[in-house]
A and B are shown apart, each in its own frame.
Chain A
């Protein structure tokens, strides 16, 4: 796999500030899936407990990790171990900046 830092940078390069949040989340999900086989999807969090799909992979997956980006947006990851924690933190930082 390429150096982790480059994944984070590549995602950043693909973000289009003229697009809305949903479209950019789709961009991130399809980049990670197409290039690295990492399946993710995003959910709107309601009342702190209900996670409702909004963007990302439609494939079957056994989520190994659920990450609360903030109180209203959640990230569900299939193969979390494929990247290290620091890389995920950087990706989450980009997602937070989108909102």
Chain B
């Protein structure tokens, strides 16, 4: 494709009318000064006030900005201990003790943007540029399925060669792949995507082919920093990106995911930005907030000058704080911690309320099927810190008493959008999570586990089933009997049955 054509395409991406319709009094919902005012105003919060906030969160109510700002300002060590303890309790109430596993799939690194922290940026001439063909996409999906994955997060650069039509085709291709995994054909059952903001008409195309969650990270919510770090391309338009998920919801995609790249600006500001984002989605879409929130930390990337320069790098201690505060502030949302983090940090993040993570992660274009083991900076957006395979990650979680889940049930029986939001806030979705986690874990143990992991997994499953039997909720809601039937059917070799 000629450069002039690409340039013209990029110039026509943003549709001003699809920003303006969501503005209130002509302004977006991130007020930089107000955020700083709230952070300042809530300094040295009273202990009892903080405990009241914690209790509100334990009642699974979303916090207000002042309350979140107060949590961000806690300095007392013991009080932080209480916050962290509460974070895990909130997670268990809403999602039980399961961790959903997925695999990221990078299929195009062509990009018209120039983000100063990203290896895919247009001006990085050392990056090996590539867009996978549909056959290559299918090969990648096959490799993921052979590892035991059921859920993919597909990542695309912003470019006319990876536009909505290409994305649509890749989603269909991935769903079409069926691999013999022993007992039955294995498939990717849910395709989530991380792609650039689009117009509503394009988003409808993705909705029609059954896209899972649509994820767009704002990167930084701070206007000036955003403008500085995104000097050109459609991504230089802050508001176009800020309202990407409003447009998605309007197009019908009722599972949307937000995120910020921590390290670009002050971490406390970004937490407040994420909260305001959730509030505005709830306000404008009848209570539907973000399905998940991601909080990746800035990692080393090829020819990305800002990574070395930034003064906002988030320390491990602050990272744990931000995870706990997000958990308490937006109790209903899923929290995703990724392989960017070291294994020990992932373990800790799990104990602070994270609900999803990746495993066997390869983020180079074509990296699953071409099976290259070393990370290659010139094929990746950034470098990851945890390259463990699925089996090791699952075994580790099982040792920690957490069950790995490959559940994709909600999305295939109408528990999405407002329905799932209501079930999350009333702590009912977690009950389904528990049952489906056991069912999919049983599948995975039988089809993919090493002997060592299987042994540990069997003990965990026994404990989980006992908990189900002893919880009156399952009997009262007629869930126990069907669950037991399904479990037996899976043990006998059936696959992909869920509640």
Contact = CB atoms under 8 A, between A and B. Distances in A.
A62 interface: yes
Contact of A60 (B211, B411, B423): B423
A70 interface: no
Given A47-B210, A49-B175, A60 B428 contact: yes
A14 to B, nearest CB: 23
B422 interface: yes
B414 A76 contact: yes
Interface in A50-71: 50-53, 58, 60-64, 66
A48 interface: yes
A47 B477 CA distance: 31
A58 B287 CA distance: 15
B214 to A, nearest CB: 12
B422 A50 contact: no
Contacts of A41: 414
A62 B413 contact: no
Interface in B400-444: 411-419, 422-423, 428, 431
Given A62-B477, A62-B482, A76-B414, A53 B419 contact: yes
Contacts of A78: 478
**What size tier do the contact residues of chain A reach?**
20 to 34
A43 interface: yes
B413 A52 contact: no
Contacts of B415: 53
B252 interface: yes
A17 to B, nearest CB: 26
Nearest to B168: A47
A50 B212 contact: yes
A83 interface: no
Contacts of A46: 207-211, 252
A46 B477 CA distance: 29
Given A46-B209, A60-B423, A62-B479, A52 B428 contact: no
B499 interface: yes
B20 interface: no
B210 A49 contact: yes
A51 B477 contact: no
A52 B254 contact: yes
A52 B254 CA distance: 8
Interface string A18-42: 0000000000000000000000010
A36 to B, nearest CB: 16
Contacts of A44: 252
Contacts of B155: none
B172 interface: yes
B414 A51 contact: yes
A47 B482 CA distance: 28
A16 B432 CA distance: 35
Contact of A47 (B208, B423, B479): B208
A48 B482 contact: no
B272 interface: no
B412 A51 contact: yes
Contacts of A50: 210-212, 411-412, 416
A58 B419 CA distance: 7
Nearest to A43: B414
Contacts of A74: 414
Given A60-B428, A63-B499, 18 more contacts: A41-B414, A43-B413, A43-B414, A47-B211, A49-B189, A50-B210, A50-B412, A52-B252, A52-B254, A53-B415, A53-B417, A58-B419, A60-B431, A61-B477, A62-B482, A62-B499, A64-B482, A74-B414
Task: Give 9 nearest A-B pairs by CB, closest first.
Answer: A47-B210, A50-B210, A53-B414, A47-B209, A43-B414, A53-B419, A46-B210, A49-B210, A62-B479
16 contacts: A44-B252, A46-B209, A47-B175, A48-B210, A49-B412, A50-B211, A51-B412, A51-B416, A52-B252, A53-B416, A58-B422, A60-B428, A62-B479, A62-B499, A74-B414, A76-B413
